[in-house]
Structures are given as structure tokens and as C-alpha cells.
Structure 1
Amino acid sequence: MTWNIYIGAELTPLLTATAPDQIPERVTEVFQQFLATNFPLRAKALARQIALKAPDIIGLQEVAKWELIPPNSSKVVYNFLTILLRELRRKGMRYTVAAQNRNLSAALPSSSGNLIRLTDRDVILVRKTRRFKVVRKQEANFKTNVEIDVGGQTIPILRGWSAIDVKVRRGIFRLINTHLEPDSPEVQVAQANELLTGPAAAKRPVILLGDFNSNADGSGTATYGNLTSAGFQDAWTHVGKGNGFTCCQDADLLNAVSHLNRRIDLILFKKRSNWKAVKAAVVGEAQRDRTRTRLWPSDHAGVTAKLKIRNCK
């Protein structure tokens, strides 16, 4: 499974600030939207969908940690990873963190006198099973990243990837999880090329999954075409049914009708002789998947694929 679980707020108010004195009010606006999208409640919906599919390996993006840091007082932490793992355990699903990469981390003052810190992570979860064993992990940030100006302060928007090597029977395959840059095609293509010349260049069978922010119909950036030209097969094009759209609901997650109209969350595999795609599905896109307060589980739908490995050495 791959699923961008959404940091919970649109950061545009911050990115459009033109002076330092605008920052505190913008921080408060963003943080209030994060509270309104209620990740503890959304985590229940996410866990429900995960439990229905019971994937062996999950690649998650935007696994945020928000911290409200008052002066001279204890901070309040909203750790998406801790919250989601707790909800999964309540569903009887036991997952461990196999790898994670820390991306953007920034702290800014709010209008109420608190400091608000946001840390973004991508995480690979592995279901506890005796069928395979993780024998190696890698975690890294991209060398090429966007830098933005927030009220006169330059903040790098770090992104990255994590990978695990998994031993199954007598062979080993590699799974890579990533989240590529949405706002600069040049940076996004460079990040994908780092994957292709780095962890994805392994001679062993490879699965590459994540939020690529590149339209699978070729109408967006060159990234999707570059990945498929490098030999990666798209599980959805083999066995998916329907349009497979995964992006994007409104930032407040309250749009009555689904706004999903692009397929940018992908499960790709390299060395077709080693893999057989059996089935693929989109999750979290239906009205029945919403929370009791009508929040969508995320601004993205998730994608699952069942792959059979063969001739793995």
C-alpha cells in the first residue's frame, strides 16, 4: 500500500507571506486548520481501510508531527505515526516501523505567543509476519530541493526517500518509498533521477511507491515517463480497474463530492520477469470511507497492489 495521509493543513497562507510581521497570524491560521482536520479521528478511518486490505508493507507520506510549544510550559505533540499505530493495534493489526526519512522541519511563532513546529516524514511500515524479513534499511534526503521565502526567512523544503531490502524465501527484493516535489517540475525530475541512479538502480527486484506528483496520463511533468522509460512497470495499468484517481480532496477535507481527478500515487515495479501483478485497488475514496464528521481520511486516496514475486535470487 501507498498512502499520502496529509499533514492536515494547506501551507499556502505561510508561503504567500511577504513580511515577517505577517507570519504569526498566518501560523495561527494554518494550525487552526490542522486542528479542524482532526488527525486522531482521521486515523480511525485510515486504520479501518488498512485493516480491510491488511497489506504486508505500507509506504506512508506526510506522516507529520506537529508541536505546540508554549513559553515556560510543556509542549503538546500530535505525532501522526504514534496515533496511527495505536489505531491499527486497536484493529488487531501489528505493524513495525521499518524505515523513515525526516524531511521538512520548521518552527515559527503564532499570534497567541506559542511556537508551532511542523516536521514531515515518510515512513515504511511492515506487518509482523514470519513470511519475510527486513535485512537492510536506507534513509536519505534528496540533494536537490526547493527553497522558499517565508516572510524574509529562507526555508528548504526537504524531501527524501527510504528503502528496505526484504528477504523472502531464498531471495531479496527492495522496496522504496518517496514523496516528490509538487511545485517545481525541474526539482521533481532531478529527485526522480536521484532515485533512478541511486536506490532504484539495484540489480535485485525493486518496488517503487509513493506520491510522485506526476500525472500518470503524461499530462504533467516528465517524471512518470522517465520512470517507465527506465523499466518500471505501473501496477495499475496491468491490473487496476477504472481511472485510479488519487488526488485531491479540498484542504479542509469537507467537500461533499469527491474531487479526485488525477493519478499521481503509484506502485511501480522493475524487472517484470520477477513480478506478477495480481490486483490493484484505490482505498479511502468512497463516501462510506469518511469519518463520522464527514472528513475524508486524507486529501489523497491510497493505492494497494498485490504482487507475486518469482525467480527472486
Structure 2
Amino acid sequence: MPYPRMHRARRIVAALIAVLALAGIGGVAAAPAGAHGDEAVTVMTRNLYLGGDITRPLTAIQGLPPEQQGPAFVAANTTLRAIVDQTNFPLRSERLAAEIAFTKPDLVGLQEVALWRHGPLDGRPATVVDYDFLQILLDDLAAAGEPYEVVRSQDESDVAGPAVLGGSLQNVRLTMRDVALRRADSDVRVLATGGDNYVTRIPLVVAGQPLSFIRGYVWADVELDGREFRFVNTHLESQLSDVAYAQAAELLAGPAAPNGTPVVVVCDCNSDPLDASRKPGERFAHRDPYLLITGAGGFTDQWLRFAPAALGFTSGLSELVNDTPLQAAAAFDHRIDMVFGRSATGRSLPVEWGWVTGRNPLNRTPATAIGRLWPSDHAGVVMRVRP
């Protein structure tokens, strides 16, 4: 394992953060909800967690002869779908809504906004909705008294496969989305929106059929008090740094390219600036997509304008998100959820305050069959900046 001392030090700092959380301190700045300054905007990045390890069915068939791949895939996909029920997004969504309602971001970038559906194995797309994470969260925000509206939703991967659900073999379908939200009573005005998928993808072959896992982004040109800026939300690839690096390059050449206005990018970037490790055969290290964005891209890591990196750790909890507070203290040991900023002239953006959500054990769900659940396997980052 590379850099063992660094990893140990980061775990010690993470444990100290958890102790603070147990004392009721949810972030590193005691910013009251709704704290505002002229021409400042509050932005948030929040990975909702799709509910299970999406790689499970693919990992299960690796190295198996073709005649064994089908049964292995069904068994693993059945386990994945059962875990999605156990990680109970409707309960977790209530806690996510509480985070958002407290910090009141004007704009929110959401990743892993899953849409789980099922249907018969008759060759038609599955259409029966089991969990629509976006609608569930919107309903919970409205119930919390802080309604939000969708600025842009971008479909990413749309994958389906057989699994046992409700006692019978079904076609289980997952559609992943990246979404930008706007607080309904925000002074931020949306001028234009867009979104797309990255060209660079991981090529896969499942049961002889080609497949690729798709990532992408959404953007919005907005105006606040006569000042315009662009808000971008993205989710870079988690499995291969080479793919994540190429996607970051697409981002910088596309929606995050200089356009004469300030740009704010929020993301689950899947790139830890402190991790120089590489997977076998890869050209780029885990930190390299981050370094591209903050180097050639000209963006500033806005969190570092406010607090040390170790106070911004955001990842990551176990698949079941039922970690005990002490387990979570060790698990939150790196930072991949980011807020980047670049002014119209290429400078960093002034920061008023920052906050890390989702690390306070008091904000877990009530007890379930597998224990109390954290809102997500990631923490969220909220920052108030001046574009």
C-alpha cells in the first residue's frame, strides 16, 4: 500500500473529526442556515449513493467460463438489488433533505440520482418504478419547508439485467442521473442550461454483449444581483483514473472552458489530491484528474481557501452505510467531493464559509434491520463563495 504513514495520519485526523461530530459539530464552520452576503452564492455537492455496489454483478462473472456467467450474474444482481432495499433511500432521503434545508444552498449538484425500475423479461425496457431518488428527495425537501426545483437532469448509464425480485425473475433496471437543483426562493435566476455524456467510457463485455458505463455533467448559466456565472455539476469515473482524467479533460474543453464569466464546478471527482497511487497498467494516478483541473484548468480548490484538506474529508463509508460512529471515523479518510472556482480573469473566488454535511452521527436514520444508516456513503460539501 503506498504512503502508509500518510494514510495512518489521515485516519487519525478523521477520528478527531468524528469526535467533534459526536459533540454535535457537523462541519468546520458554525455558519447559521441562511447566512448571506451581497453577491455571494451558496453551492453544494452531494452524492446520494445509488444504494449498492454497482460493480458486484460484473465482478462476479470475471474469469468464469461463458456457461457459468449467466447464473453468477443473476445471483450477484439479486444480492445488489436486495442491498438497495436494505440501504433504504426513502429513510436516507429524509436526512439528506434535513442537511439541505439547514444549509440552504442556492444551487445543488447531485450525483448518483438513481432511478430503480423493474419489469418482465420480455425484451421491453423495465418501467415499473421502485425508487425514484430525485422525486423522493424533492418531496422530502418540500415537506421540510425548503422546496427545490430541478434546473437540469442528465441521464447517464442506463443498465438492466435479470435478478430475482419479489420471488420471481425480473428485469431490474438502473438509470443513473446527474442533477442540478435550485432553491425555490433563491435570488439566483437561471438563464440557460445544458448537459451531456462524456465520450470517454469504460468499455465492458457482459455475456458477449458490449456495454459501457456512462458518466456526464450538467451546467447552468445563472445570474445573481446582475452578475452572471456558470454552475457545473459532474461525476467522474471511479474505477479507472485514466478514464477519469480523460473525462476531466473533456470537462475543461466543454462546459468548464473559459467563457468570459466566473465558473463554479461541484463534483464527485473520484480523485484524491493526496493519493499518488496508480492501478496496474494505468498512466495516471488517482490524484491526476484533480491536478489537471487545478493546473491546466485554472480552477482553485475552494475548500483549501477556507480550511485544511483534512477537515474536508468526504469518503467513504461501507456498502451498507450502517457503519458505527467509530467505524465512520476511520472510513472518512480522503477527499473526492469538491467545489472548484475560477473567476472571469482566472483567479480563485472569495470564500465566506464552508461546511461538511453527512458526518454527524446524530443525523443518521432511525434504526433499521441492519442498523442506523448514514445519509450517504459520502459526505457533502457546502460553500458560500463570491463568483
TM-score normalised by length of structure 2:
0.77
Which range is displaced more, 178-187 or 241-250? 241-250
Identity rate, percent: 36
The answer to whether structure 1 residue 106 and structure 2 residue 184 are counterparts is no
Give the total of aligned pairs: 309
Q: RMSD across aligned C-alpha pairs, in angstroms?
A: 1.8
| Cα distance between partner residues in 1 of 2:77 and 2:333 | 30
- State the structure with bigger RCO (CA 8 A, min sep 6), 1 or 2: 2
Task: Provide Cα deviations, 1:7-30, integer angstroms capped at 9, x if missing partner.
Answer: 001123211224123222221111
Counterparts in 2 of 1:105-144, with a 5 A limit? 105-111=158-164, 112-129=168-185, 131-144=187-200
Q: 1:224 aligns with which of 290, 294, 311?
A: 290
| Cα distance between partner residues in 2 of 1:273 and 1:21 | 55
Q: 1:281 aligns with which of 345, 350, 355?
A: 355
Task: Identify the residue that residue 14 of structure 1 maps to in structure 2.
Answer: 57
The answer to whether structure 1 residue 300 and structure 2 residue 378 are counterparts is yes
| Cα distance between partner residues in 2 of 1:283 and 1:11 | 24
Q: Secondary structure at the match of 2:311?
A: coil
Deviation at 1:286, TM superposition (A): 1.5
Counterparts in 2 of 1:150-189, with a 5 A limit? 150-189=206-245
Q: Which has the higher strand share?
A: 1
The answer to whether structure 1 residue 95 and structure 2 residue 138 are counterparts is no
Counterparts in 2 of 1:233-252, with a 5 A limit? 233-240=300-307, 242-252=310-320
CA contact (8 A) 2:121 2:162 kept: no
The answer to whether structure 1 residue 193 and structure 2 residue 249 are counterparts is yes
| Cα distance between partner residues in 2 of 1:260 and 1:234 | 19
CA contact (8 A) 1:14 1:150 kept: no
| Cα distance between partner residues in 1 of 2:94 and 2:206 | 34
CA contact (8 A) 2:58 2:73 kept: no
Unaligned runs of 5+ in 2: 1-43, 277-285
Q: Identify if the C-alpha distance between structure 1 residues 274 and 27 changes in structure 2 by more than 3 Å, giving closer, same or farther.
A: closer
Task: Provide Cα deviations, 1:213-244, integer angstroms capped at 9, x if missing partner.
Answer: 00032532311111111211111101135531
Q: Secondary structure at the match of 2:108?
A: strand
| Cα distance between partner residues in 1 of 2:248 and 2:358 | 26
| Cα distance between partner residues in 1 of 2:56 and 2:290 | 30
Largest Rg, 1 or 2: 2
| Cα distance between partner residues in 1 of 2:187 and 2:336 | 30
CA contact (8 A) 1:240 1:281 kept: no
Q: Secondary structure at the match of 1:11?
A: coil
Letter in 1 for 2:317: Q
The answer to whether structure 1 residue 80 and structure 2 residue 133 are counterparts is yes
Which range is displaced more, 201-210 or 150-159? 150-159
| Cα distance between partner residues in 1 of 2:225 and 2:108 | 20
Letter in 1 for 2:293: L
CA contact (8 A) 1:200 1:208 kept: yes
| Cα distance between partner residues in 1 of 2:379 and 2:195 | 25
Deviation at 1:71, TM superposition (A): 6.3
| Cα distance between partner residues in 2 of 1:138 and 1:205 | 17
| Cα distance between partner residues in 2 of 1:221 and 1:145 | 19
Unaligned runs of 5+ in 1: none
| Cα distance between partner residues in 1 of 2:134 and 2:240 | 28
CA contact (8 A) 1:3 1:61 kept: yes
| Cα distance between partner residues in 1 of 2:347 and 2:214 | 35
Q: Secondary structure at the match of 2:172?
A: strand
Q: Identify if the C-alpha distance between structure 1 residues 287 and 198 changes in structure 2 by more than 3 Å, giving closer, same or farther.
A: same
Letter in 2 for 1:60: L
CA contact (8 A) 2:229 2:261 kept: yes
CA contact (8 A) 2:215 2:235 kept: yes
CA contact (8 A) 2:341 2:348 kept: no
Q: Identify if the C-alpha distance between structure 1 residues 276 and 120 changes in structure 2 by more than 3 Å, giving closer, same or farther.
A: same
The answer to whether structure 1 residue 265 and structure 2 residue 337 are counterparts is yes
Q: Secondary structure at the match of 1:243?
A: helix
| Cα distance between partner residues in 2 of 1:74 and 1:218 | 41
Letter in 2 for 1:231: G
| Cα distance between partner residues in 2 of 1:160 and 1:173 | 20
Which range is displaced more, 195-204 or 30-39? 195-204
